[in-house]
Amino acid sequence: MYTKQFDSQDITKFLQWIAEARNILLVSHMNADGDACGSLMGLTLLYDQASMIGCSVTPVLPNGCPKNFEWLPESGRIVKGENDTQAWERMTEEADLIVGVDMNAASRTDMLAEPLRKARCHKVLIDHHHNPDREEFELVFSDPEISSSCELVLWLSQAMWGDRFLNREVATCLYAGLSTDTGGFAFSCEQPSCFEAASMLVRYDIHPAEIHNLIINTFSVNRMQFYGFALSERLRIYPDQRVALMAFSLDDQKRFGVGGEDMEGLVNYTLMMKEMEVGALLREEVGRTKVSLRAKYEVNVNHIAQQLGGGGHTKAAGATCKMPLDETLREVEKLLGVENAKPLDCNSKG
């Protein structure tokens, strides 16, 4: 069971705000992942049941729901913020409760951040990232040691309503985020409560294998062929420095008809080689280059990302550089200490 205690006054307050609300807005971060989508929809389905009759509960994502999570129960209700920021402004003015989930600050919602800050209603944060913005949000339920926001949503809902509103749909949403944020229960799952949460969710007749297929086994043929190209033509390995990196121009992406969403997870291949400790993926966009960084052991890639104007976690971080691909690549090579190193010649191994 989850051993940390929620503040009982916080719980009472939150219960009351939900019970009294006529307009509840839920929001998560830009470029939503499984945990963002799962916790957003899990909360939506919980508040549908817990709020008063006639209360409208609206889930919002700054740039919408990613394709491989569109199967989540009722995800069709997700409002895409970038389509209509004016509508979002109206919605935040009318809302009496806004709940941010799987994000630590309003800025993570990009174009929705300003109206979110301006809104005068009750604001609650449910999250597991470091440094939650306690100034902006009146109530903060935060635990950086927990596996996922979905797990936190489960324990919080237990504290608020027990099992009362837990059902197959809610459990499916929460399991989707719990399983993806832990890489299929491979990391961020040191706490027993993570597996207890999974154990509780599978009692609701959910299908873990099917959920896995719907999220992970979703490659298009183009994307698969692009991965082949990426690994054989674009992977540079620096054995002495234990660094592996890949860089993709706009032309590379055009050739295979792939974009950012298709590269989700590709950076992790750099660390699949036993000896590699740091990995980087660079992807050119119009007028800028996106950088993803990963580390296995001691190296703190959050520090490296910060030097590029970005940030993240110690083992996974990223940045967006307003520079062309080749310049960004030189910067990254310098920061990783491989600017003068010779990469392994992968084509001459006979």
Q: Which residues bind Mn ion (CB under 5 A)?
A: 35, 102, 149, 181
Rounded CA Rg of the chain: 21
Dist. CA 294–CA 28, nearest whole Å: 23
Residue nearest to Mn ion (CB): 35
Taking the complex as a whole, how short is the minimal distance between the CB of residue 178 and Mn ion, in angstroms?
10
Query: Nearer Cβ to Mn ion, position 176 or 325?
Result: 176
Q: Which residues of 50-81 are buried (b: 16+ CB within 10 A; e: fewer)?
A: bbeeebebbbbbbbbbbebbeebbebebbbeb
Taking the complex as a whole, how short is the minimal distance between the CB of residue 253 and Mn ion, in angstroms?
27
- Alpha helices by DSSP H, listed for the chain, are 8-20, 34-50, 85-94, 113-118, 149-161, 168-181, 192-202, 208-215, 221-233, 250-256, 301-307, 325-335
Query: Nearer Cβ to Mn ion, position 179 or 253?
Result: 179
Query: Nearer Cβ to Mn ion, position 109 or 149?
Result: 149
Query: Nearer Cβ to Mn ion, position 75 or 149?
Result: 149
Taking the complex as a whole, how short is the minimal distance between the CB of residue 330 and Mn ion, in angstroms?
32
Taking the complex as a whole, how short is the minimal distance between the CB of residue 239 and Mn ion, in angstroms?
33
Taking the complex as a whole, how short is the minimal distance between the CB of residue 190 and Mn ion, in angstroms?
15
Residues 6+ apart with CB under 8 A from 209: none
Dist. CA 335–CA 66, nearest whole Å: 32
Query: Nearer Cβ to Mn ion, position 125 or 282?
Result: 125
Query: Nearer Cβ to Mn ion, position 144 or 259?
Result: 144
Dist. CA 283–CA 323, nearest whole Å: 11
Q: Nearest-CA neighbor of 278 among 324, 236, 320?
A: 236
Taking the complex as a whole, how short is the minimal distance between the CB of residue 254 and Mn ion, in angstroms?
32
